[in-house]
């Protein structure tokens, strides 16, 4: 299997084990397996049940996966365990975050994007099994990589950037004094 390399936004080397067309095919297989699980179980069960059933379906498809993968962060040259665990990592390429919630919220997407960034993986699937129709609870997220061939553009700091906090503080003070009764 050919490995392609790119850089993340922070400049760390990221290894994508699969070319894009195969990655798309893999996510389609995973989504199909999740739909099969949902078709047979329906919504309303605990996340661990869906994880177990999905692992069964993935194994039936011959896909390699890891469960509850610990994800330490690199900080000042050391690895720190902050308690992050990816629900599933399929074919060492696609991160799965399983949910059984009333609705997916931005915090769920942020969680998966954090896992993608820390693991260096490119694609993740957020799957909420607590939906009557599973496709309404599916989100495919991509970790955007910086193109090393493009120059990095940074804006020059504004002469007033140090004053933004002061301006905000003055605005809040003005609103408070307007709203508070004069004694």
pTM above 0.85, yes or no: no
Per-residue pLDDT at 160 exceeds 90 = no
| pLDDT value of position 116 | 95
Per-residue pLDDT at 8 exceeds 80 = no
Q: Which residue has the higher pLDDT, 156 or 130?
A: 130
Describe the crossing of helices 47-60 and 20-41 by its angle, rounded to 10 degrees: 120
By mean pLDDT, which of 56-60, 88-92, 156-160 is the weakest?
A: 156-160
Q: What is the mean pLDDT of residues 84-91?
A: 96
- 75/77 Cα distance (integer angstroms): 5
* CA nearest to 147, candidates 37, 5, 28: 5
| pLDDT value of position 145 | 58
Domain ranges of the chain: 4-142
Under the banding of pLDDT at 50, 70 and 90, the label for residue 17 is: low
Q: What is the mean pLDDT of residues 51-69?
A: 97
Q: Using an 8 Å Cβ cutoff, are 13 and 74 in contact?
A: no
| pLDDT value of position 127 | 97
| pLDDT value of position 123 | 95
């Amino acid at each position: 299997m050919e490995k392609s390399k790119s850089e993340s936004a922070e400049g760390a080397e990221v290894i994508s084990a699969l070319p894009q067309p195969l990655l798309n095919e893999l996510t389609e297989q995973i989504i199909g397996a999740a739909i099969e699980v949902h078709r047979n179980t329906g919504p309303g069960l605990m996340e661990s049940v869906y994880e177990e059933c999905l692992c069964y379906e993935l194994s039936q498809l011959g896909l390699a996966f890891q469960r509850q993968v610990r994800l330490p962060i690199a900080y000042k040259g050391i690895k720190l365990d902050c308690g992050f665990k990816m629900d599933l990592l399929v074919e060492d390429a696609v991160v799965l975050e399983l949910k059984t919630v009333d609705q997916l919220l931005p915090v769920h997407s942020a969680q998966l994007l954090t896992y993608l960034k820390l693991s260096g993986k490119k694609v993740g699937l957020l799957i909420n099994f607590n939906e009557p129709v599973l496709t309404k609870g599916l989100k495919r997220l991509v970790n955007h990589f910086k193109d090393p061939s493009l120059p990095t553009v940074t804006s020059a700091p504004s002469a007033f950037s140090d004053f933004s906090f002061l301006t905000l503080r003055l605005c809040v003070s003005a609103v408070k004094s307007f709203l508070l009764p004069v004694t």
